[in-house]
Amino acid sequence: MSKVFINIGLSLDGYMAPEGMTMDKPEYKNWGVKWGALMAWLINQQYFREKLKFGPGGETGPVNDMVRHTFERTGANIMGKRMFDQGEVSWPEEAPFHTPVYVLTHEKRDPWVRLGGTTFYFINEGPERALELAREAAENRDIRISGGADVIHQYLNLGVVDELEIALAPVFFGGGRRLFENLCEPMPQFRIDRVLNGPAATHLRYVRQ
């Protein structure tokens, strides 16, 4: 069966996104600089640069191999409406997922087909239904819960997350959207599976006990 995993960047003080992060106000509280510092490790990887057509160059090695594995293992993505809204105005015409993407929303909307194999489906029936559809689409590949924080909380509370991968960057946001809030008892239990040190982030991988 497909595994459900979370793969995200995290600031040293526990935030997934800086305060005021919205594409229509890029200067607000300097969120763009903070976000760039959080994700610098990823943008510098050769595979990621090739995948998003950023041009030649980039780092190779264990972190680059990890990024490649994340893309190759993913057969479907799930995200929230907030994340989709910001991506809709900033992603290139060939969206970076190359899989079906299931968007949790109350909005009714026809599927949005992009170049490169990405199709966004808008799911009004809740997280369980989105996961059911993602499992069907992924077949023998895995399902990534892409974000944002509210969506991650929902799937952790459902008890369906098998793996948790965190790229912990040495930056402070001082505010924003925290990763771990509103979790319900009993809390999910994980064990450390891998720690990979890079120059711009420490990559932590936890698996469900």
The pLDDT score that the predictor gives to residue 158 is 95
What pLDDT, on a 0 to 100 scale, did the predictor assign at position 55? Answer: 84
Does residue 166 contact residue 11 with C-beta atoms inside 8 Å? Answer: no
For the chain of 209 residues, list the mean pLDDT of each consecutive stretch of 10.
Answer: 94 91 68 90 93 88 96 97 88 90 96 94 98 96 94 95 97 92 89 95 97
Q: Six-digit token pair at 204?
A: 């932590």
Name the residue with tokens 């976000």: 35
CB atoms within 10 A of CB 103: 27
76 membership: H or E segment, kind and range: strand 74-80
Cβ atoms < 10 Å from Cβ of 32: 16
Tell me the pTM.
0.93
Check residue 58 and report its DSSP letter. -
Let me know: does 2 contact 173? Beta carbons within 8 Å: no
Burial of residue 188, with CB atoms counted within 10 A of its CB: 0-12 exposed, 13-18 middle, 19 or more buried: middle
Note the pLDDT of residue 28. Answer: 61
What's the rounded Cα separation, in Å, for the pair 96 and 153?
23
Domains of the chain: 4-208 (3.40.430.10)
pLDDT score, position 137: 97
- What single-letter amino acid sits at 114? R
